[in-house]
Amino acid sequence: MKKDEPPFDFPDTLEGFEYAFNEKGQLRHIKTGEPFVFNYREDLHRWNQKRYEALGEIITKYVYELLEKDCHLQKISIPVDATESEPKSFIFMSEDALTNPQKLMVLIHGSGVVRAGQWARRLIINEDLDSGTQIPFIKRAVDEGYGVIVLNPNENYIEVEKPKMRKQLSADGTDEPAEKRERREKVSKETKKRRDFFEKYRNPQKEKEMMQLFIRENGSPEEHAVYVWDHFIAKSAAESVFFVAHSYGGLAFVELMIQREADVKSKVTAVALTDSVHNVWHQEAGKTIREWMRENCCNWVSSSEPLDTSVESMLPDCPRVSAGTDRHELTSWKSFPSIFKFFAEASQAKSSSQKPTLTRRSHRIKHEEL
């Protein structure tokens, strides 16, 4: 027999869930000190999943707060010319993002439930803030003199409740004989009663029907990347722009290159991809883009090989090296030191008018440096 499902009525704060992040950035239960437990109620997978999602929404807001308070980034609303009533999104920028004359770092996460400042919700909840968020990248970038822009490519629409359709009376409804109308209404009531009973059994908590209102010029990760490029990155004073793009973020970057090839080539110095899902054939990236990527990009992929070990590529685009982990969601965090080394080499090469050499030897980081 199907268990009665408790209502989807969850707290809207970490304290309400009785969880908090400790000094190591790990999510722990306030009373027991235990990590997060997904199966809070046995045999109620849907309820447990809804609880996990509710906690995830709180985590998203918590990371937004850290970006502003801890990393001192500014929240910038987009579209820049949005009216008061239209759907809006936002990105985060350091104060000097557009004015820093030297370096700008742009961070793009992957697809799914993650939002600005996150690499993986699962890592934030089950591991720690360092591995699951972009905060270590932002803090080190600021320390090393970069301006920073954090994209928000999954915030493509707002959800509003669907307006209920009004039933229209038939024109001849009034001429219907009373006896016939009563019989029809009785059948209709019984049918509705049966339908409601089965619906309650199948879906005990009928959720509100929602509709999506897309954000102008930001209705997809690819659109968002082009929009932020046109309105912010392209206008920045930085001589050198660097991208870190994870998973679907890599695909969004390649799409940006296809649409703004000349601009990207003139402004971007190096691109670090982490387990990127881009495909130069499917995305129809031209020969000149593929050549540029071979010279200026590196993809840290999930692999059981040691960090920075060269990994063979089936596609004729950027070099691939091991991220030092076979877990997709961990590739950004595990390749963190190598990415900054790669950018430093690219900067140095640019200042001496040479291209960075993406060889196994130049990428290899000794264990003691870690």
* Tens digit of each residue's pLDDT (9 = 90 or more) over 291-331: 999 999 999 999 999 999 999 987 778 999 999 999 999 99
Residues with a known catalytic role: 247
* Amino acid at residue number 11: P
> pLDDT of 100-117, one tens digit each?
999 999 999 999 999 999
Omega before residue 79 within 30° of 0, cis = yes
pLDDT band at 1 (very low <50, low <70, confident <90, very high): very low
**pLDDT over 90 (residue 208):** no
* pLDDT, mean of residues 148-173: 77
Chain centre to alpha carbon of residue 323: 20
Residue 8, token pair as written in the block: 């989807």
- Which of 34-43, 48-57, 81-90 has the lowest average pLDDT? 34-43
Is pLDDT at 193 greater than 90 in this prediction? no
Return the C-alpha torsion angle 65, 67, 73, 78, nearest 10: -70
CB 226 within 8 A of CB 259: yes
Mean pLDDT within 222-228: 98
* pTM for this entry: 0.84
328: exposed, middle or buried (Cβ count in 10 Å: 0-12, 13-18, 19+):
middle
| pLDDT for the residue numbered 106 | 98
Query: Percentage of the chain surpassing pLDDT 90?
Result: 72
The pLDDT of 257-268, averaged and rounded, is 98
